[in-house]
Amino acid sequence: MDRIYLDNAATTPLDKQVMAEMVNVMDNYYGNPSSIHAQGREVRTLIEKARKTVAGLLNAVPAEIFFTSGGTEADNTAIRCGIQAFGLKHAITSKIEHHAVEHTLDMLLKTGVIDKLSFVNIDAKGNIDYDHLEQLLKDNERSFVSLMHANNELGTLTDIERVGNLCESYNAIYHCDTVQTMGHYVHDVRKIKAHFVVCAAHKLHGPKGVGFLYVNHDIKISPMIFGGAQERNMRGGTENVYGIVGLAKALEMAYAEMEEHQNYIQGLKTYLKEKLSAEVPGIAFNGETDADKSLYTVLNVSFPEMEMGDMLLFNLDINGISASGGSACSSGSNIGSHVLTGIAADPNRPSVRFSFSKLNTKQELDFVVDKVKHIVEQNVSA
């Protein structure tokens, strides 16, 4: 059997239709979009067409969409520039956010840009405590809130419309990391009420190195990257034209095929969960797994304590299975998953994140279960 790729939360294969669209641009359009001559104008038209496509899918206006190098840049821009624009001194987040959020807020606290960083309570499955969030908003001065839509390791979903309404009630600025869910769910920015949402194209069968930041038209921020007047003076640097065109094509396809792919991929996730539960004793699941509470592309599996547990991913790899994962930190010197540590997972139990795409099959999952079962039987202590 060919290698089985189950690490789609890390990145997805580039869709062939997206590649074809990008190759056409590479072959036929070479002008600098900032140039005023014909070749420059036709490339500028491609970028603005892509911006209009993205905006239309999100119920935004084109002027609210800024293309970036990916989700990390978009997160950094939203957090750093959003906090600066409003002179905010208090930020609220959780202990299981992506490092692009966690490390940025840590830096702002350490350098004195913000005076206080609060963490909303979460339960053992990664759900945030909305009552605690409201209390934090109520008890502090105007806040910057950064809470993701779906946790990238657990798959647990946050009710971002509820968070948006709370932030609106307390005049907070709300940034939502939607990297894992963009293209997998309908995002209507008018309903979410977030000031910032982000996208990385490679999470939805688009190219690496490109994403976007949505900035609500009611607020104004300064750039993080200075240079030329690109992106309406919001991001200096010649645009990644091929990537931008590929992003728009990938997102357009994702929306067109969304219901079909949701049903299919949710079926794969349920199938793997049920087979592992039936055939591998002692396993458990990290995060929410119910369809209405969990991202359908992610299943995080906690395995029994075993000999060479830290080699589980390596053993899967040599058996032709690509996945990711780890364990909770067992000490201050142990580098493990900050997400699993944040939900107080057992540090002695190795975990694997299996993440799916439209390209996976049940036959692949049968193979995975057989291999996992064999590895566990060989390594679990009597």
- Long-range contacts of range 331-336, CB-CB < 8 Å, 24 or more positions apart? none
Measure the CA–CA gap between 186 and 343, rounded to whole angstroms: 28
Measure the CA–CA gap between 200 and 150, rounded to whole angstroms: 14
Q: Is the dihedral of CA 299, 302, 303, 306 positive or negative?
A: positive
Number of C-beta neighbours around residue 331 at 10 A: 8
Q: End-to-end alpha-carbon separation of the chain, Å?
A: 32
Measure the CA–CA gap between 323 and 313, rounded to whole angstroms: 7
**Is 329 considered catalytic here?**
yes
List 81, 167, 199, 329, catalytic entry: 329
Return the residue matching tokens 């992506």.
98
User: 235-256 b/e with 16+ CB inside 10 Å = b?
Assistant: beeebbbbbbbbbbbbbbbbbe
Measure the CA–CA gap between 20 and 26, rounded to whole angstroms: 10
Return the residue matching tokens 């010649």.
238
What residues act catalytically?
329
